[in-house]
Amino acid sequence: MSTFLSSNAELIISLVKIALLLFIVLTVNAYLTWFERKVVAHMQSRWGPHRVGPHGLLQPLADGVKFLFKEDPTPAGADKFVYYLAPLLALALALTSIAIIPFGPDPIHLFGHDIYLGIAPPDLNIGILALFAITALGVYGIALAGWSSNSKYPLLGGLRSSAQMISYELSLTMSVVGVLLIAGSFNLKDIIANQTSTKWGIFGWNIFPQLLGFICFFIAAIAETNRVPFDLPEAESELVAGFHTEYASFKFAMFFIAEYTSMITVSCLCTIMFFGGWLSPFPASWTFTHYLPSAILLPFGLWVIWDGIRYETIFGRIILPAVGTAITALGAVFILFPDVNTFIQGPFWLLSKIFIFLFIYVWMRGTLPRFRYDQLMAFGWKLLLPASIVNVIITSFVILAKMQWGPK
Amino acid sequence: MVPTNYYVILSAILFGLGVFAFVFKRNIITIFMSIELMLNAVNLAFVAFSQALGKLDGQVFVLFVIVVAAAEAAVGLGIIILIARNRQSLNVERVDLLKL
Amino acid sequence: MTAPLVVFFVLAALAILGALSLIWQKHPIHSALSLIVVMVALAGLYLLMGAEFVAAVQIIVYSGAIMVLFVLVIMLLNAGIEEHTSISKLAGVPGLLLVIALAGFIAATIARSSETVQAAMQTGAISSTKGISNMVFRDFVYPFELTSFLILVAIMGALVLAQREKS
C-alpha cells in the first residue's frame, strides 16, 4: 500500500486536488446564486430568500433537491444524442477552465511533496491560450442545446449566442494582447509576477497601463458568459428562456452551474490579468497589512454570533452562532500562527478581488437593461474590436519606445 | 517518443478519409467540411515533420494553413448561403443548372 | 508500450473514428461534431509532439471559430438529412478506389523514405512560442502580411456574397 502511494503520489495528489476543487467550486456556485438573489433583492427593496434556513442560507440546498427530483421530459423530435450532449459539454468545459487558474504563489509542503494551489502545473506555458481554447469550445454547449431542442425559441437563442460569442471572442482575445506584450509570456504565474512593484503594490498592476484593455476585456467577458446586459441568448421577455427553454431538471441545472462557473473563471482572469492576482495593493514594507484577513474575519464572525443569538427561529439560533464561531476561530488561527498567515496572504488577496468582481457581476444584473440585438452586434464590431486593436497598437508602440529610449 | 512514421501514416489515413468523404457526401456543407478534414491531415504531417527535423518552419506553415482555412471558410460559407437561398436545397446534385 | 505511445494510439483512434463518423453520419450537424472530435484529437497530438502553440491555435481557430461558423450556417439554413440518389451511391466506388490508391502510394513513399526521417529524429525537437513568433515576424513576415491581405479580401468577398440585393 505504501509503495503504491509513493509511486503514484503525483497522480493521487492531482485526483485529490480535482475532487477538492470540484467540491469548492460547486459549493461556491450554489452560494453565488444565494448571494445574487440576496443582493438583487436588496437593490429592489425586497428581502430575497429568507424562508429556508436562517437568512435563506439553505436555499441553494433546497434548489438543488428541487432540480434533482423534477420531471425530466425530452421534447418530441429532439435530436437525443445532441440534446443530452449539450449540457454535459457546457458543464465540462466550464469546470475544466477553472483547473487552469493558479490560486496561490507558494506550494504547501505536505508528505514531502510541493503541492501548488490549482490543478494545472505552475509552469504551463500556454496558460492563457489554453483558457481561451476552452472558452472557444464553450459556444457549442449553447448552440447545440438550441438546435437539438427542435423548438423555435431555443433555436433563436442558440443562433444568437453563437453569433454573439464568435463576435465577442475576438475583442476578448485582442484586449488581452496588451497584457501579454507587457508580460512577455502566456503563463499566468509569469503575468502576475510581472505586476510586482517596488513601492505601492497597486501601481504595479496592469490596470493602469492597460485601462482600455481592461474595459474591453471585461465587457467582452460579460458577453462571453451571457450575463446581463448581454444575456440575449436567454432573454426571457423575448425568447421564453432562450437556449435552455426545453431543458428541465438536472440538465437545466448543468447549464446553470456552467454559467456561474464561467462567471468565476472570468473574475479570476480579470484579477490575474489586470489586478495583480495574488499581489497585495499595499507596499511590501507594511507588514501590518498581513493581519487584514484576521481583521476582517474576526469582527465578521463576532457579528454573525451576535446576529445568531437574536435570530427568530431556534434552528437559526443554533446554526448561526456555530458558523460565527468557526469564522472567528479561523481569524484567530491566522493571528496565532504566523506561518499560516504568510501563506494565506496570496490566496486572500486573490479571493477578495475575485469576490469584488462577482459582486460587480451581480450589481450589473440589478442595474442594467438588456441590449437590443443589432445594438449588441454594432457595439461588438464597431466599438469594442477597434478599441481593443487600438490598445494593442498603443501598447506595442510604448513598449518599443521604452526599448529604444527608456532606461536600461 | 512516438516515431514520426506513425504520425505520417495517421495523416495519410485522415487525408484518404477526407478524399472519400469529399467524393461520397452529397450535402454541400459536409463536402466543405471534408476539405477541412484534408487540411487538418496535412497540418498533422507538417507538425510531425517539423518535430522530426527539429525545425519550426512546419509549425509556422500550419499557422498559415489555418489562416487560409479561416478565409476559405468565410467565403465558402457565404457561397453556400447564397446557393441555399437561390435553390432551396443543399444537395449538390440539385445544383446542376447554370440558370435558375 | 510507453505512455506517449498509448496516448498516441488513443488519440489516433479517436481521430480516425471521428473521420469515419463524418462519412457515416447522415445529418450535417453530426458530421460537424465528428469533425470537431477529429480536430480536438489532433490538437492533443500536437501537444504530445510539444507543439503547444499550434495546439492552442488549432482549438481556438479551427474548432472554436471555423467549426462554429459551420454549425451556425447549418442551424441557419436548417439543413436536413442528406439524401442520396443511386448515382451518388455509385460515386462511393471510385472514391474508395481513389482512397486505396492514395493510401498505397503514401504508404509506399513512407516505406521507402523511413530511414532518412528516422535519422533526422536524432536532432531532437525544439518548440516554443517564442521561436514561432520570431519566425513569423522575421523570416516569414512577407507571407504573414500577405495573409492579412487575404483575410481582408475574404471578409469583403463574404460580405458581397451574403448581402441581399436591394430592390
In-domain check, residue C88: no
Contacts of B82 in chain C (CB under 8 A): 161-162
Q: To 10 degrees, the CA torsion angle through A97, A103, A106, A111? A: -70
C-alpha cell at A175: 484586449
Give the residue from B33, B80, B81, B82 with the most C CB atoms within 10 Å of its CB, the best one to mutate.
Answer: B33
* pLDDT < 70 stretches in chain C: 1, 84-89, 111, 113-127, 166-167
Domain's final residue, options C83, C113, C140: C83
Q: What is the pLDDT of residue C116?
A: 55
Options 3.40.50.10800, 3.30.1490.190, 1.10.287.3510, 3.40.50.2000; CATH of B4-94: 1.10.287.3510
- How many folded domains does chain C comprise? 3
Find the angle CA(A312)-CA(A315)-CA(A319) to the nearest 5 degrees. Answer: 110
Range of the domain at C108: 94-127
Cell 487538418, located at residue: B40
Q: How many CA atoms lie within 13 A of B41 on its CB side?
A: 24
Mean pLDDT of A95-105: 84
Residues in chain C: 167
Mean pLDDT of A188-216: 81
Q: What is the pLDDT of residue C122?
A: 42
Q: What is the pLDDT of residue C41?
A: 92
Contact A212, A220 (CB under 8 A): no
For residue A319, give Cα distances in angstroms to A38, A54, A58, A298: 19, 8, 11, 18
Does position A200 have pLDDT exceeding 80, yes or no? Answer: no
Residues C78 and C98 grouped into a single domain: no
Contact criterion met (CB < 8 Å) for B10 and C123: no
**Hey, which chains touch A, using 3+ CB pairs under 8 Å?**
C
Residue B5 burial by Cβ neighbours in a 10 Å radius (0-12, 13-18, 19+): middle
- How many folded domains does chain A comprise? 1
What CATH number is associated with residue C20? 1.20.120.1200
ipTM rounded to 2 decimals:
0.87
Residues 106-135 of C with CB under 8 A from B: 106-107, 110, 114, 117-118, 120-121, 123-127, 131-132, 135
Mean pLDDT of A218-224: 88
Residues C55 and C116 grouped into a single domain: no
Task: Please give the radius of gyration of chain C, using alpha carbons only, rounded to the nearest integer.
Answer: 21
Residues C8 and C53 grouped into a single domain: yes
Domain's final residue, options C83, C115, C138: C83
Find all residues with CB under 8 Å of C63, minimum gap 6, and list them.
A136, A137, C36, C39, C40, C43
Contacts of B70 in chain C (CB under 8 A): 61, 65-66, 151, 154
Contact A161, A226 (CB under 8 A): yes
Contact criterion met (CB < 8 Å) for A158 and C56: no
Contacts of C73 in chain B (CB under 8 A): 29, 77, 80-81
Cell 496592469, located at residue: A206
In-domain check, residue C15: yes
Q: To 10 degrees, the CA torsion angle through A39, A40, A41, A42? A: 50
Of B4, B26, B84, the CB nearest to C117: B4
Residues C36 and C52 grouped into a single domain: yes
Q: What is the pLDDT of residue A48?
A: 81
Range of the domain at A104: 63-276+357-405
Contacts of A146 in chain C (CB under 8 A): 75
Q: What is the pLDDT of residue C167?
A: 60
Give the residue from C72, C126, C130 with the most A CB atoms within 10 Å of its CB, the best one to mutate.
Answer: C72
pLDDT digits (tens, 9 = 90+) for B15-40: 888 888 888 778 888 888 899 999 99
DSSP three-state, residue B57: helix
CA pair distance A348, C1, nearest whole angstrom: 45
C-alpha cell at C57: 491555435
Nearest CA in chain B to C43: B44
Helix (H) or strand (E) holding A114: strand A113-115
In-domain check, residue A282: no
Residue A3 burial by Cβ neighbours in a 10 Å radius (0-12, 13-18, 19+): exposed
Contacts of A159 in chain C (CB under 8 A): 72, 75-76
CA pair distance C77, C65, nearest whole angstrom: 18
pLDDT digits (tens, 9 = 90+) for A73-90: 777 877 788 888 888 988
Mean pLDDT of A251-272: 88
pLDDT digits (tens, 9 = 90+) for A363-396: 888 888 888 888 888 888 888 899 999 999 998 8
Contact criterion met (CB < 8 Å) for B2 and C48: yes
Find all residues with CB under 8 Å of B25, minimum gap 6, and list them.
B31, B34, C23, C31, C82
In-domain check, residue C89: no
Q: What is the pLDDT of residue A235?
A: 66
User: Taking the domains of chain B in order of start, what are their residue ranges?
Assistant: 4-94
Nearest CA in chain C to A187: C129
pLDDT digits (tens, 9 = 90+) for A311-359: 877 887 888 888 888 888 888 888 888 777 777 888 888 888 899 988 9
Of B27, B52, B70, the CB nearest to C121: B52
